[in-house]
Chains A and B, each alone.
Chain A
């Protein structure tokens, strides 16, 4: 078991500016760790991308799992505090993260079209009124997912189809309120993506789930 990234450089002051790594973050770490043999042997990634990197904890961990400076790790966040802390978290753990301040992946497409081997995202998924996804409060924006917590997720799904390489894999954190079965069906119907549940965990009232998506023709159990 690889230790989780060192976050000692972050204090409660920072967590007024960026999303504090929580149960969801750690579930995504556990999912990536459980997938690492598959990722190394079947995907052998060159380009990784995380949408909404927050503290940078997830991409740092992925970089540590992959080792040897063997991939480029692009990280985006809409919050400039998050993109700068992302770089710092990587640096403290000897991982270089290529951080970009942007909305989802704006500016990176079309160049990254069908080029991303590992896409991962812990999105704003909480069920909130629609308006909250436009909140000016950057912390609220980190978790507010609008109707069914799906509004930001539903913007990310088509991007996954644009971004993923033929052999690429997408890891997405959702909660049961997000209707994961409906998400999986939508990805199958619209883009012929296979999916499976990698891992799930109860956190208080919420069930956290990591979904894994691959293109059709790629057996999910490869």
Chain B
């Protein structure tokens, strides 16, 4: 699971509607997999992110290179850094905990599992 995916995931346990995002990352195993850099795509993608959630989640997995506030202007260095954090950093194993209801979703072999059992939906 890449952070671009994690940025889109929210707890969906029945009745859990507030303060349920972003899911807190813990016990993670990280792998870097290089991929082609595309600045045009990154520029559009950045606009679709929740920036504060991204920097928080990055910090939880030990990445502290993102600026607190999204810059107005994206220079090449900034985009390369985002590329690395968002698209090349893979969470292979880990836990994602809802900050509101504490439900734990697992990431196994790089894939987040958002399934709930019937009583939770």
Contacts and interface: CB of A to CB of B under 8 A. Distances in A.
Query: Are A and B subunits of one complex?
Result: yes
A107 B9 contact: yes
Nearest to A66: B41
A68 B38 contact: yes
A68 B40 CA distance: 10
B110 A87 contact: yes
A46 B110 contact: no
Main SS class of interface, A? loop
B41 A47 contact: no
A108 B38 contact: no
A101 B41 contact: no
Contact of B113 (A74, A101, A112): A101
B111 interface: yes
B115 interface: yes
Interface in A77-116: 78, 80, 83-84, 87, 96, 98-103, 106-112, 115
Interface residues of A, number: 28
B5 interface: yes
A110 B8 CA distance: 8
B109 interface: yes
Contact of B111 (A46, A69, A99): A99
Interface in A48-82: 68-72, 74, 78, 80
B10 interface: yes
Given A101-B113, A102-B115, A115-B48, A108 B41 contact: no
B10 A70 contact: no
Contacts of A47: 45, 48
B113 A46 contact: no
A69 B35 contact: yes
A112 B8 contact: yes
B9 A69 contact: no
Given A99-B111, A101-B113, 17 more contacts: A46-B45, A46-B48, A47-B48, A68-B41, A69-B37, A69-B38, A70-B40, A71-B41, A72-B4, A80-B111, A84-B111, A98-B1, A98-B5, A107-B12, A108-B9, A111-B8, A111-B10
Top 4 A-B pairs ranked by shortest CB distance?
A: A107-B114, A102-B114, A69-B36, A46-B44
